[in-house]
A and B are shown apart, each in its own frame.
Chain A
Amino acid sequence: MQYADPDDILGKAYDARIARRLAKEATPYRWQLTLTIILMITTACADLALPYLFGVGIDVVNPGSPRSFLGHSGTAALNILIPILALSIFIRFMSYYGQTYFASWIGQNIVLKLRSKLFHHLQRLNISYIDQRGVGSIMSRLQNDVSVINDLFSDGLVSIVADLAILVGIVIVMLITNPKLALLTFAVTPVMAIMMVWWRKHAISAYRGMRITIARVNANLAESIAGVRVSQAFAREIENMGQFNRINRDNLDASVTAARYSAILFPFVQVVEAVATGLVLFIGGRVILGGSAFTIGELFTFVAYISRFYEPVRDLSQQYNTMQAAMVAGERVFALEDVQPEIVDAPNAIVLPRVRGDVTFDNVVFGYDSAEVLHGMNLEVKSGQSVAFVGETGAGKSSMINLLTRFYDVWSGAIRIDGHDIRDVTQQSLRSQFGIVLQDTFLFAGTVRENIAYGRPDATLEEVIEASKAVGAHPFIEKLIDGYDTEVHERGATLSVGQRQLISFARALLCDPRIIVLDEATSSVDTETELVIQHALNTLLRGRTSFLIAHRLSTIKSVSMVVVLDHGQIIETGTHEELLERRGAYYNLYTMQFRAQELQALADSQRIPTD
């Protein structure tokens, strides 16, 4: 079993093209961003002021070598120093508060706009894009990838700027106070950098191993839970446990390896810090004892700064990951944004007025990707006629319907409704002529009423009830706990298959469409529902041009024209009776079942009684 983890495809930490587009997303907030950066620098300054002022305090109170502060010394100096100290920690409180708030605010707003923009964009994209990419993969763009970009704005950038400000601040203060000692402190930095590089190299592959193995554990778990009934039916439990244990064990091993690396970074910093502190005290102490201008307070500031010096260094290397992840996420998000809808309204598209319902397929050629599926279809349907498409899987039944509703566009030829090429009218006005009932009756979370009124949200309750009555759905809806206000759950799970079908009929009927497109459901329903559905279908089709992918013989018998498709061509048309009499393709198709019965008879004659 090979599971590639798409999250593991890591790219550069900086990609100019993507960075520019990310920056563009942030442009509307440039003032807030500027303010945030100012606040960050303020915080960093105030942050560094604390050890500095305390160092000054030490010198001021030092009985051995009292130093004056703003012209005062001793208690008087202390009395000036304390309010300044208090003020600086209060400033830090305010600026820290502001920076965190604004950074999150900016991140959230960027994310909001981005998600909204992508969602709106998706509504314009073709069905084919969603079909190809899959719902899960598109969702992860809007969920995870956008969240990663949020991390960059609300956390990553903040940290990078704050860390840099602190580093620069420390370097400046140290260099001014004592350049020699400062250089000594910085001398430890290369060691630190080398260690970081080494660590990153190993830790990344260790973490990768951990992610891959846990993904396997989860995949196995998900499948085992989903298929637990099969496992028990085939008494496979023990075998499965062994298999899971192996995968789980791999994850344990990988995690422990990763633990070895993740445990080492912090202690290493501790040691580096201790060495730097020891060296500074040793050399700085000697400098003080040697009688130079260097003071104990300044030495203290140095020591205090050392413990603040390595944190940003370590942090910055972590931010490398944030940047890298944001670049990858940005690339995926922008790739989605750049997908152009293939089906767009023509610039001079007209609004299709309410049609009579004459439909013409004029030499229609069509295919998916590069494979041609329909090879020059010609079909003329008069207003009010009903047409059933029959044929093997892949014969082109669904394609005909996808083209008519303009979910896809023809390669060549044209489809005309009342003489209008469907590419010359707006999609909105085209689709509002149709009542479309799909095989998989998809219901949205919401009430039964909302679902029936999906195509006409402004419909009154009376109209909804009327439509329900017409298709025979009213009796069962009435019996639901809250009647028309009953909540329909995820994918309509609380309703039976038959009930969902009836609701989708009512949904289509409420729009009073001129043309019905129906992909008949194949699922078996109980006898009573079957009767109701047959009746509802008649109501729905009456007086409307209709196109059906039929699965029930009763449906096929009731239409005015059966169109037999084979490998993307129309090979026969006529009514059910006519076609049977012709003894052609239709006849063969539908007597296949009978042959199965003959075979059965043969099998029966050979059946050996077991008793």
Chain B
Amino acid sequence: MSTVESLSPWSKSPQPEDALERRLSRLFGAVPEPEALPEFSRQRVGVRLRTRGSRGGGLMLVRLVALGAVIGITGAAAAQWAAVHLFGAQQEFATHSVRVVRGTPPRAPKPLPRRGASEPLPLVEEPVVTPPEAPAAVVVAPAAPAPAQSSRLGLEAASLEAALKALHGGGALSAQRGLKAIDQHLHDFPGGALELEARVARVDALLVLGRRQEARRELSALPIENVGRKNELRLIRAELRADDDCRAALSDFQVLIDLPLAAGWAERALFGRGACLLKLGDQAGAQRDFDRYLERFPNGRFAEQIRAQKK
């Protein structure tokens, strides 16, 4: 067993003797790391999951209520029929959701009470039962399942998804359209369950449009700790703050540098802190960060800039 347990991946084997394994080692070593789905896609799936969860619960409730109503009505009708035919008596049965009245015209459904905008729509209307001449048959107003977008959350999710689609069409025009749709969404669903997602998308749109100050204001008001993209948003916030408030930016950069970030973000955070230290007059601190940057990212996107600065 010991020889088997000493297996190590081909790509990590130091110079295998077997030619085929050498070839496989090179091959496996060259397979790239997969990329995560873009934030936009993950956001969309998150919205779908939330909507589906609530819709699923709603549907289950509808099904249970409908099943209960059918059982109740059937039972009441059978009892009525038995009472008439077996005992010759006329009875009136009433339950909280079912009313069976013999020889009376059908009852009109009660008008629905007025509801506020935020109140959910009714899941099932009260069924109306009109037994005809004996044997009593039962007519039940069908309890239609709630349509997919009947809940407020469903509507909100659909609205946000449409706004995100508009935003991610690519280019400034899409960003403009997306921003308009997001603003409309925020206006239509104030304090909605997806407000945070919408506001994050708003930041994206503002950044694409180059409206940095507004993006910064929006970001500063966001509780970024509660957002899935918190590290990315913190980095963006730091870079925006670095425009004119390096002290505030430094604390964000510091948090990021202490985290095990993906290379692209780590690079930006390190460079950002160095640049801010330089702006604040801490030459030695900036130098340390820039040296560290060049050591870690010799071909990084800011490497040339740093080398030019050092000259």
Q: Do A and B come from one complex?
A: no
- A interface list, Cβ under 8 A from B: none
